[in-house]
Amino acid sequence: MSKPYDYLIVGSGLFGAVFAHEAKKKGKRCLIIDKRNHSGGNIYCENVEGINVHKYGAHIFHTNDKTIWDYVNSFVEFNRYTNSPLAIFENEMYNLPFNMNTFYQLWKVKTPDEVKAVIQAQIAESGITNPQNLEEQAISLVGTDIYYKLIKGYTEKQWGRDAKDLPAFIIKRLPVRFTYDNNYFNDKYQGIPIGGYNKLTEGLLEGIDIKLNVDYFANRAEWDAQADKIVFTGKIDEFYDYRFGQLQYRSLKFEHQTKDTDNYQGNAVVNYTERHIPYTRIIEHKHFEFGTQSKTVITKEYPEEWNTEKEPYYPINDAHNTEIYKKYEALAKADSHIVFGGRLAEYKYYDMHQVIGSALKKSQSI
């Protein structure tokens, strides 16, 4: 007996939405289910006071891949937003990424040679030749001033651990620019969808059946019976009933506030790098789209330990979790009727353009 759909897609985030769109173009029947009360996954925007609020944290699109840039712009035009975050440490403000503006703010030096001399002197003074942890690794790359003011507290808040207790491999490199350039991403193409990310996901999902407020695992057999194949974008360990153990994540908490002012901080992203300040950054959403509304909305972002009651945002790709994931990955490769995709199903940190690229590649190969 023929099933009503070719694909059941669990999750309406970018991977699921792109896969569904491409499958529909090939004449495939798709049903998407999502446990949230909205589609779009973590790029969903909520309109508050006429401002598109990034409900699950700042999402800034950037890529060097013109094909992917043209793909997303075929659904919604992207603006010219360039990410140029700031960092505050002990009431002093610094430009990010680390560039000549930052170094002038730190040391009042004006030339690349002066900067290199300061950094090399601090590295030499540290005496670190074989870094054993994240702190030593960072100091061996950029010296003590940049580390203690702009890296240490922020990183410890992100991970909920002392930097000396974190492995060195977390920081493989720290980009240092010897130019006066505050553009955070080096990518050729970057911006924000004009009118918000919902326009992108709505375009991708047009004409596709979708059911919200649905927990796949609450009635798994019934949903599986709806389609010939499954595209799964949730946690891969949950899909396999945690048979090899639970994978670990870091979570986030977002505190949204509407402010009765037209401009709260003058920039979309401001990092707070001191450990005793509980949030890592404040986002002011209107600046993503150069808004002129009379009010503004800010979001304080708090890193949190993850448990099953919280949203998993970042995989912890250490040796322990990697070993567990490889066992699940082997099961996934043997399941020919299931497609696993996205950050949770592949237990991998993805930027948005990478998720889209992965979904396009998998859909095309199938």
The larger pLDDT score, comparing residue 270 to residue 175, is at 270
pTM across the whole model: 0.94
Active site residue 346: no
Catalytic residue among 49, 162, 202, 250: 250
pLDDT score recorded for residue 319? 86
- Residue 119 makes CB contacts below 8 A (sequence gap 6+) with 142, 143, 146, 176
Average pLDDT, the chain: 96
pLDDT at residue 318 in the model: 84
Active site residue 243: no
Q: Residue 276: how many CA atoms within 13 Å on its side-chain side?
A: 2
Residue from 173, 241, 260, 309 carrying the catalytic annotation: 173
Share of the chain above pLDDT 90, in %: 94
Strand spans (E) along the chain: 5-10, 30-33, 45-48, 51-54, 61-63, 86-89, 92-95, 189-191, 209-211, 227-232, 249-259, 269-272, 281-284, 296-305, 314-315, 338-340
Catalytic one of 177, 216, 264, 343: 177
pLDDT value of position 173: 81
Residue 317 has pLDDT above 90, yes or no: no
Q: Reduced to 3 states, what is the DSSP secondary structure of residue 266?
A: coil
Catalytic site residue 275?
A: no
77 tagged catalytic:
no
> Do the beta carbons of residue 38 and residue 282 sit within 8 Å?
no
Q: What is the pLDDT of residues 120-148, one digit of tens each?
A: 999 999 999 999 999 999 999 999 999 99
Mind listing the domains of the chain with CATH numbers?
5-82+188-248+317-365 (3.40.50.720), 98-170 (no CATH)
343 is catalytic: no
Task: Kindly tell me if the per-residue pLDDT of 172 is higher than 90.
Answer: no
Average the pLDDT over 339-358 and give the result: 96
Assign residue 225 a region (left: φ > 0; alpha: ψ between -120 and 50; beta: otherwise).
alpha
Identify the pLDDT of residue 170.
84
Tell me which amino acid residue 8 is: L
Q: What is the mean pLDDT of residues 344-351?
A: 94
Q: Which of 281, 284, 289, 328 is catalytic?
A: 281
- Considering the chain, what percentage of its residues have pLDDT values greater than 70? 100
Residue 44 catalytic? Answer: no
Residue 299 has pLDDT above 80, yes or no: yes
Residue corresponding to tokens 């509304």: 293
Reply yes or no on whether 301 is catalytic: yes
Residue 1 pLDDT > 80, yes or no? Answer: no
* Mean pLDDT, residues 64-91: 98
